Amino acid sequence: MGKKNNIPETWIDVVLTDVAYIEDHLRKPINSAERQSRIEGKSISSLFPYYGATGQVGLIDSYLTDGDYVLIGEDGAPFFDPFRNKAYEIKGKTWVNNHAHILKANKFFSQKYLLHYLNQFDYKDYVSGTTRLKLTKGSLERFPLPLPPLNEQHRIVSKIEELFSELDNGVANLKLAQNQLKVYRQALLKYAFEGKLTEQWRKENNPEPAEKLLERIKEERQNRYQQELKDWKAAVKAWEKDGKIGRKPGKPKALKEPSPLSKSDLSSLPTLPETSFWLRVGDLTLRTEYGSSAKSQKTGKIPVLRMGNIQNWRFDWSDLVYTSNKEEIRQYLLKYNDVLFNRTNSPELVGKTAIYKGEQPAIFAGYLIRINQIETLCNADYLTYFLNSQTAKNHGQFVKTDGVNQSNINGEKLKNYPFPYSSLSEQNAIVEQLESQYSIIDNLEKTIESGLKKSEALRQSILKKAFQGKLVPQDPNDEPASELLKRIQAEKKKYLEEQKQQKKKKKSAKILNHA
């Protein structure tokens, strides 16, 4: 005790156990299977909250604590994340497991002050471990803590909560705007693929009728197939000339026409302008292609893009694995504007799609499908936008196959996806309009994200000032903290004596019950 830090004259430095009690004897872990068996068939009103390191983790049919406490994680809490809470309050009848310490403030010490203090404390020298940080009871007992006069504690808490309330309102408005932008993104896609974004463009450009577009699709696919056969024959000759080293080039599979959409299929899809029509994704490609099934490495020549790298219709290059296998690189090397579809993922994420823009050489892994769309028929960005639209997502949810925590949409199902086809020039116009609008949305989202980060930083700044005595003014009429501490110590002595007597009574009652 005493004065070590730069704090006001009326404050003193103490340790946590000077002003609060660690009540870990009140906690008890119950595994999830036993908890489930204890709550089955019981009404919610007869159950009690079950708490862990960072909050409520379930319900249980009994309680061990009844009152107001502060919980702080023993393990699994975000101790090194400055923007997340490490401590939280519980009230009433509850049950706490062994992943959280239970704290009770002294009668003459503000529990809310303790809560806010713990959420800005620097835990660097008090937790141990690497992958799962641990805060032992011993470390908790020696937490340093600045003790202001009791009235000032209440003023500090009141000011913190006033400022936090204002911040919370601001954050709520930012998050509302964030959600509205997500809705607007999807609304834009809906209008785009119903032809509403290009109504004026069609009036000015008089696009080709649907019949001519259909003829062009069939002709282009046939030309592309004949070119592949020609390239294959040349590759076989080169392979034979080189002494048949390596795998013989595979012959392209026979061209297969996708079946047209039925009247039933079309009845569930949006109506399109006369110059557009619904066909299948398979009409725009000769084949879809699964990625590499070879095991990737931590280092290597080029990255292997996986399903986790697909983020917001583009590739995230921050978490990569690699390959140096020449055959794998030859077969799966990505080309500019390749569209990749995530065929296996959780039910809500299966079918997410991204477009490769040549950021760096890379191949793709087996849970991704390369669509290989014919570029003279289909704008790659238009295809990507559509596959991320609500219409495509709804279709994916309908055709997916569900397993344990995973869903799958294979290449054949992907080729049968409905696709709103319009002339390549109209596709280009749609993409241009979408990208113009999305550029504005992206900037707004960045502004909102920056605002959210600033709010969190301001929250921490408020807490830091609070515990340096700079948030509210000192009142010379307040009882000095040194005098307050004497009352706290007297109360602590009384409290511990009461606890001791209660333990004796429980022990005596237990002996009598067994007599």
Q: What is the pLDDT of residues 354-364, one digit of tens each?
A: 999 999 999 99
DSSP three-state, residue 152: helix
User: Taking 70 as the threshold, does the pLDDT of residue 445 lie above it?
Assistant: yes
Higher pLDDT, residue 76 or 415 = 415
Could you give all domains of the chain from N- to C-terminal order, each with its CATH number?
12-148 (3.90.220.20), 256-422 (3.90.220.20)
Residues 6+ apart with CB under 8 A from 348: none
Work out the pLDDT band at 211, boundaries 50, 70, 90. confident
Token digits of residue 443: 């900037």
Residue holding tokens 């290009």?
198
Helix axes 150-192, 380-387, angle to 10 degrees: 120
Work out the pLDDT band at 4, boundaries 50, 70, 90. low
Find the mean pLDDT for residues 376-385: 96
User: Taking 90 as the threshold, does the pLDDT of residue 498 lie above it?
Assistant: no
Work out the pLDDT band at 320, boundaries 50, 70, 90. very high
Find the mean pLDDT for residues 201-227: 91
DSSP three-state, residue 170: helix
User: Taking 80 as the threshold, does the pLDDT of residue 57 lie above it?
Assistant: yes
pLDDT score recorded for residue 76: 86
Q: Which of 479, 373, 493 is nearest to 149 (CA)?
A: 479
User: Taking 70 as the threshold, does the pLDDT of residue 514 lie above it?
Assistant: no
Token digits of residue 476: 């010379």
Q: How far is CA 237 from CA 28, 120, 224, 246, 389, in A?
A: 74, 71, 20, 13, 44
On average, the pLDDT of the chain sits at 93
DSSP state of 105: E
**Residues 32 and 60 sit within 8 Å (Cβ to Cβ):** no
Work out the pLDDT band at 127, boundaries 50, 70, 90. very high
pLDDT score recorded for residue 512: 66
Higher pLDDT, residue 501 or 368 = 368
**Residues 451 and 169 sit within 8 Å (Cβ to Cβ):** no
Residues 6+ apart with CB under 8 A from 396: 350, 351, 409, 417
pLDDT score recorded for residue 5: 59
DSSP three-state, residue 13: strand
Q: How far apart are CA 403 and CA 334, in angstroms?
A: 29
User: Taking 70 as the threshold, does the pLDDT of residue 213 lie above it?
Assistant: yes
Token digits of residue 9: 């004259």
User: Taking 60 as the threshold, does the pLDDT of residue 3 lie above it?
Assistant: no
Strands ordered across the beta sheet of 65-66 = 56-60, 48-51, 93-96, 65-66
Q: Which of 463, 470, 452 is nearest to 167 (CA)?
A: 452
Q: What's the one-letter identity of residue 303?
A: P
Residues 6+ apart with CB under 8 A from 273: 195, 199, 202, 422
DSSP three-state, residue 257: coil
pLDDT score recorded for residue 500: 84
Rounded to the nearest angstrom, the gap between the alpha carbon of residue 71 and the centroid of all alpha carbons in its chain is: 25
pLDDT score recorded for residue 194: 94
User: Taking 60 as the threshold, does the pLDDT of residue 515 lie above it?
Assistant: no
Give the pTM. Answer: 0.77
Sign of CA dihedral 411, 416, 419, 423: positive
Work out the pLDDT band at 513, boundaries 50, 70, 90. low
Find the mean pLDDT for residues 452-466: 94
Q: Which of 431, 406, 420 is nearest to 342 (CA)?
A: 406
Q: Which of 365, 371, 369, 358 is nearest to 304 (CA)?
A: 365
**Residues 70 and 114 sit within 8 Å (Cβ to Cβ):** yes
Work out the pLDDT band at 146, boundaries 50, 70, 90. very high
Q: How far apart are CA 2 and CA 146, in angstroms?
A: 10
Burial class (CB in 10 A: 0-12, 13-18, 19+), 162: exposed
Higher pLDDT, residue 428 or 254 = 428
User: Taking 90 as the threshold, does the pLDDT of residue 328 lie above it?
Assistant: yes
**Residues 96 and 65 sit within 8 Å (Cβ to Cβ):** yes
